[in-house]
Structure 1
Amino acid sequence: MSAGDIELRRFNDLAQARQALIDVYADVRAPLLHLPNYRVEAFAERLDRHAHEVGWEAVLGYDNGKAVGYAYSNTLTADDRWWTRMTEPLPEGYTTVPTMAVKEIGVRTPWRGTGAARRIHDELLAGRTEERATLLVNPLAGDGKVQGLYEAWGYTAFNSQQPSPGSPKLVAMIRPRTLRAV
């Protein structure tokens, strides 16, 4: 399998992508589905809420017609709860810079390590106009490898938050939406 073989499709209407997003999520998060925050029903509720927020958009990757990975995002407003839940106070004006939040990203096991997640992520960012992208990561995911992957993609940790009582404490990371070649 090669990431180059994956067909990328962009969605702004949840109805067209909802079931594929839920199916991939359930497969990707299978080991965690017994935890309340990771239940498929909890994800579906978050997905439905996120899809009604400003600037919702998803990119799904398909291999021979099968959805193998996804990422979706929203535009953050200056007073968005994304910002207000941060553990540490943010610098003056930090939330006024146009920023998108990558709310979810996941790739089915057979396509991990192929570059599929990066292609899906980069396609999502390429279609956006915000100056920055931010995301949350569980620092324990993959024994820290997931956070390391995001660092390799240009993200840096800047804060932390616990989005809900059932959620673990997450690291907030940020990067410019487009990275300049070095």
Structure 2
Amino acid sequence: MAVTDVTYTRHSAEAAAGLMDELCTVYADAYGQVAGEDTTVKADAFRDRATGALSARNYELVTARADGELVGFVFGYSLRQERDWFAGLDPAPEAGFTDERGGERTVVLAEIEVRKAWQGQGVGRSLHDTFLGGRLEERATLSANPDATATHALYEGWGWQRVGTKPGRPGAYYREYAVFVRRLPLLDRR
């Protein structure tokens, strides 16, 4: 199928809650089987993260469907100061970098996943652009596996800048994460 056969839809947190099983299925497919890894552990951790995100400020989900099948999704939310997203960022950022100014400065792109069969066809980029194109914040941030250099190059090609690394939280997949930031257009939509 061509990317033009894909429909992108925005969803609120309430609607996203009803799609959780489908989101988990796409997540598991996107990562596939990893030798020696218990896939239920990673899938359960994703479900916990995704369910927890539903209560975040200005949560939004964008789905990609082809012939009714969910082939990808992205979700995120506005960053609150108390979230302390940039804690431990190395190198230390300039003064004011971590200030959220009322929680409307930064959107976290928390997850972007595309089924294996649809990867490399522009679905991920379209999800990314649709999600960020509808946001009102000044900038976006995301964190990634620090060793995923191909993914880092992809993000940089999409306009993201790596600003450093930060330690993983207790129970996280990685001991540290690469942190990226991207400026968003300031749109007068309020």
Which residue of structure 2 lines up, in the alignment, with residue 80 of structure 1? 83
Query: When the two structures are superposed, what TM-score results if normalisation uses the length of structure 1?
Result: 0.87
Aligned-CA RMSD value: 2.2
Q: For the residues of structure 2 that align with 1:121 and 1:171, how far apart are their CA atoms?
A: 18
Structure 1, 64-73 or 90-99: larger mean CA deviation: 90-99
Which residue of structure 2 lines up, in the alignment, with residue 11 of structure 1? 11
**What SS does structure 2 have at the residue aligned with 1:82?**
coil
Which residue of structure 2 lines up, in the alignment, with residue 107 of structure 1? 114
CA drift at 1:88: 4.0
Structure 1 residue corresponding to 2:33, chosen from 14, 31, 34: 31
Q: For the residues of structure 1 that align with 2:112 and 2:55, how far apart are their CA atoms?
A: 18
Q: For the residues of structure 2 that align with 1:139 and 1:54, how far apart are their CA atoms?
A: 27
Q: For the residues of structure 2 that align with 1:116 and 1:99, how far apart are their CA atoms?
A: 24
Gaps of 5+ in 2: none
Cα displacement string for residues 87-108 of structure 1 (whole angstroms, at most 9, x for unaligned residues): 4433221123501010111111
Is this contact kept in 2: 1:75–1:100, CA < 8 A? Answer: yes
CA drift at 1:57: 0.8
Within 5 Å, which residues of 2 pair with 1:122-137? Answer: 122-137=129-144
| Percent identity over paired residues | 29
Q: For the residues of structure 1 that align with 2:38 and 2:177, how far apart are their CA atoms?
A: 16
Query: When the two structures are superposed, what TM-score results if normalisation uses the length of structure 2?
Result: 0.84
Gaps of 5+ in 1: none
Is this contact kept in 2: 1:11–1:17, CA < 8 A? Answer: no
Q: Number of residue pairs matched?
A: 177
Is this contact kept in 2: 1:160–1:170, CA < 8 A? Answer: yes
What amino acid maps onto 2:50 in structure 1? L
